[in-house]
Amino acid sequence: EDRLLKHFETKNLKGFGVQHLKLGIIASGAILYYLDQTQHTHISHITALSRIEEDRYVRLDKFTVRSLELVGTMNDEGTSLLDVIDKTISPMGSRMLRRWILFPLKDVKPIQERQEVVDYFFREPETKELLDTQLEQIGDLERIISKVAVGRVSPREVVQLKVALRAIEPIKEACMASEEPSLCRIGEQLNACALIRDRIEKEINNDPPSLVNKGGIIAKGVNEELDDLRAIAYSGKDYLLKVQQREIELTGIPSLKIAFNNVFGYYIEVRNTHKDKVPANWIRKQTLVNAERYITEELKEYEEKILGAEEKILALETRLFNELVLALTEYIPPIQMNANLIGRIDCLLSFAKAAEANKYIRPVVSDSDKIDIKGGRHPVIEKQLPLGEPYIANDVYLDDEKQQIIIITGPNMAGKSALLRQTALITLMAQIGCFVPAESAHIGIVDKIFTRVGASDNISVGESTFMVEMNEVANILRNATSNSLLVLDEIGRGTSTFDGLSIAWAVVEHISNPKLLGAKTLFATHYHELTELEGKLHNVNNYCIAVKEKGDDIVFLRKIVRGGADKSYGIQVAKLAGVPDSVIERAKQIVEELSANDITAVTKNLAVETGTKKKKEKLDEVDLAQMSLFDTVKDDDILEELKNVDLSNMTPIDALNKLYELQNKIKNRW
């Protein structure tokens, strides 16, 4: 432990800002120690360590990130929130926007500062266009400077670094000239690093190769020795042409040519028809089918001179380039700061572009206990609708007093899940400083957002769908606070009817009790019995998704209205999905027969006292056991006949005949 603490200190790193975080520092020391042991010693770009402070950010668990599809989708063809609002240009901006979505802010002031910058871009479109143009030239500044730190930066990346630093100059000037305080602060912190930028401009060719060993990196005039060696190495073509012309005239061989290969170096090639004219002092090196190749002392001396110059050129260019990279390492902190600030500008520009393209408005963010959204839309779904089809907007109001919990009923496919998700997404977008898809929005800061949406299992660790659901519910109830936003969809649907209803009922009671939780909640359900809670809990209100019935068919109106739905329209939805007519008709018969055992009578007599448990008399007229779909045939003569069959005294063929007989009776009856 002491060794790891000491290892942390020897790296001259800034700590976490809170000295008593001893375990965090030890963990950081362990990581640095591991890097040392595995020979990863080039870590000069790691200049500070910081912790993710829970007090500053909204907590989003993995279930919420997944179900709201914030940065990824649950299917390959889906669209995430990030896909919709990501209009960033630079890689730094793209990475930062992803972090912002996963870590919404809890403090009103920094949220409003982001909003003010986005507002400024609407008021000053010329500044917005200038920043947009310059950002296109910057590239991945963050990645390049990290490669400088580990000594793996390429010549082309160094040139790109120069281009980026040149583009930062007008960005800095534009920010400094703005009337927006946040942009002015960004402008003050941006550093164009003019000295190193000018050095790169002077020393590196504008279009160098990607690898140092390819040569041609260092510009002319940087090093006198290098220029002399280049004159020797690269003026050789003219020299060889002169030698070739001279030998043609001396020997009278018109087809004579001088060439080079890696085996023999420079050589003179003479066709066989002229080999009798070859001087005696030429040395034959290779015989071809139609020609002979020779070398001379003059060519050997020239070759040694040329090859020696090329090797020296490569060594000298490598040394000069490495010296430049070493000088660049001194600029790692300011360039990292530049990358961070450029990413921030890029994200705020992205918010402005997304707001303009998608008709978002600026929400009012405060420390109140209210979430009041007028004409809210789902930011992802509205972009996927067919051309010309409008998104049906809805209002949502939540507070800590009269409407803390909204119970939403209605048929499948009517839009309950979309309403739940869009409320969570609008709240999250507001708390990252983004404008939101609504006519107006007043968002009281929430500290955590939890969702329980959809059905999934985790068979690899032995968890069924219902177990996964209950794990998520347990996580929510144990970690949510009175300032949290809960989005719950179909709690209890993974088990038997009475068990599921009981769990859902108890969860609503627990959430509604300010002494136990008291969180703002949207609760979608098909248990219409839960609508009885509106009269028993003062902070619970019923809403439903409106539908229009046309005979046996329904039309989804996608509009939320006060009141509870009296049925789920499940059979109608099944019909819309294309379930065979025979199944639909049989389902109608069964639902009529089951309606005699309506369990609403149970829930109407449940007494609810917030924060207490009170036993009530058991209702004799209702059997709380699980209902069976086969109760309707308990006295059927076919069932009696089946019971009386003596299988032990029947041959296999007799048993098969009996089964065939019973099957025909059932077919004839149905």
Is the C-alpha dihedral spanning 5, 10, 13, 15 positive or negative?
positive
What are the pLDDT digits (tens) for 223-264? 998 988 888 777 766 778 888 999 999 999 999 999 988 888
Q: Is the pLDDT of residue 345 over 90?
A: yes
547 touches 583 (CB < 8 A) = no
Higher per-residue confidence, 657 vs 18: 657
- Side chain identity, residue 235: S
520 touches 423 (CB < 8 A) = no
- Return the minimum-mean-pLDDT range out of 140-154, 269-283, 455-469: 455-469
Q: Is the pTM of this model over 0.85?
A: no
- Quote the mean pLDDT of the chain: 84
* Res. 400 pLDDT band, cuts 50 70 90: very high
Span 183-203, mean pLDDT? Answer: 95
* Res. 196 pLDDT band, cuts 50 70 90: very high
pLDDT of residue 549: 64
What are the pLDDT digits (tens) for 522-564? 999 988 889 899 988 999 999 988 877 666 666 667 788 888 7
270 touches 257 (CB < 8 A) = no
Q: Is the pLDDT of residue 611 over 70?
A: no
* Res. 403 pLDDT band, cuts 50 70 90: very high
**Strand, coil or helix: what is 346?**
helix
Element (H, E) at 340: helix 332-358
What are the pLDDT digits (tens) for 569-580? 677 677 777 788
**CA 84/CA 81 separation, integer angstroms:** 5
pLDDT of residue 10: 57
- In the chain, pLDDT over 70 holds for what percent of residues? 85
* Res. 75 pLDDT band, cuts 50 70 90: confident
Span 21-37, mean pLDDT? Answer: 79
* Res. 303 pLDDT band, cuts 50 70 90: confident
Q: Is the pLDDT of residue 139 over 70?
A: yes
Span 168-180, mean pLDDT? Answer: 94
Q: Is the pLDDT of residue 205 over 80?
A: yes
What are the pLDDT digits (tens) for 483-531? 999 999 988 877 777 888 889 999 999 999 999 999 999 999 988 889 8
Burial class (CB within 10 angstroms; exposed 0-12, middle 13-18, buried 19+) of 22: exposed
How is residue 279 written in tokens?
A: 């001087």
